[in-house]
Amino acid sequence: MMVKPWLSSISNKLTSCLLLGSSLLLPLAGVGQTTVPAAGSVAPPSRPVLVPTTAAAAPAAEGWTLVRTIKLATTGVASLDRRGTLYVVDRQNNIVQFGVEGQVLNTYSPALPGHIAQLEAWNTTKILAFYDDRQQLLLLDRFLSPLTQVRTADFLDGTIRTATIAPDERLWLFDESNIALVQFDLAQQRPTITTPMDLLVGRSKPDFRFLRQYQNNVYLVDRVGGILVFDNLGNYRKKLPFTGLSYVGFLGDELYYVAENALHFFHLYNFTDRSLPLPAADVQQVLVSEQYAYVLQPKEIQVYTLAGTPK
């Protein structure tokens, strides 16, 4: 059978096209897929799949808004003055003063080593540092320049456990040896009021940790038995049944403290209590001003705005 010339021409052209296509496909046959999409991915198989590496944001605790974090190695005791200035004891027992915006304003470095058991800046004009290991009271001005030093052993025969400064610049001391609340006049260099507490304590084993005068009352924190309240003449008034505390603060008409992973506010006059869960773990102390709340942790201080803070 004779094939027509025009059919032969078409057949030859098709054969050439098939051979050319095979030559183009053969190099690709040895190339595998370099990236495999993850399960559920919508990326095309031939495109690299990028794995997300962004860190998940920590959930914010109710009522707390983080403003900034201040890095400070091994924070010790701390105090706020009424203007919102923060004072913190660092690892070397230096006193560091921070402004409202978190900037370092001043630092006091002691000439002699010692342990600051209590720092009290509420007076605003003078700051009190109590060294429990050498039984010494140090008064600084608001720029952290030393004003006065008092060795309690020169005037008292007992061991002082905790101390604070009153608005009239007299000192309140708890004499652990004699179980007494003592008011000390710096100008006269002598005790002016002594309130024996042996009948109040009885046979219990108290653990007194903190002392402050606020709104004409003196609050003495016993970690075991609660908070003993005295008037500004040293007369015993009552006990607040909050145990397990080492520190309390005051804001407006409320006393605040940390317990059971929450910050509690107790109203001093209508006796109501409100609380907010803490925004972090390993909390050593919380200080609250009208503008910010400072959460002290072992290596940093977190600064928050706090919902519901009284003005």
What pLDDT does residue 72 have?
A: 86
Largest CA distance in the chain: 139
Task: Find out whether 138 and 152 touch, Cβ atoms under 8 Å.
Answer: no
What pLDDT does residue 47 have?
A: 33
What pLDDT does residue 36 have?
A: 35
**Which helix H or strand E contains 287, and what residues bound it?**
strand 285-288
Query: Mind giving me the DSSP string for 52-99?
Result: P-PPPPPPPPTTEEEEEEEE-SS---EEE-TT--EEEE-TTS-EEEE-
What Cα–Cα distance (Å) separates residue 151 from each residue in 122, 140, 145, 156, 185? Answer: 22, 15, 18, 9, 13
Structural domains of the chain, with CATH: 64-208+282-306 (2.120.10.30)
What pLDDT does residue 19 have?
A: 40
What pLDDT does residue 310 have?
A: 57
Per-residue pLDDT of the chain in tens (311 residues, 90 and over written 9): 444 444 444 344 434 433 444 443 333 333 333 333 333 333 333 333 222 222 233 445 788 999 999 998 777 899 999 889 999 999 889 999 999 888 999 999 998 889 999 999 987 789 999 999 999 999 999 999 999 999 999 999 899 999 999 988 899 999 999 999 999 999 898 999 999 999 998 888 999 999 999 999 999 999 999 999 999 999 999 999 999 999 999 999 999 999 999 999 999 999 999 999 999 989 999 999 999 999 999 989 999 999 866 55
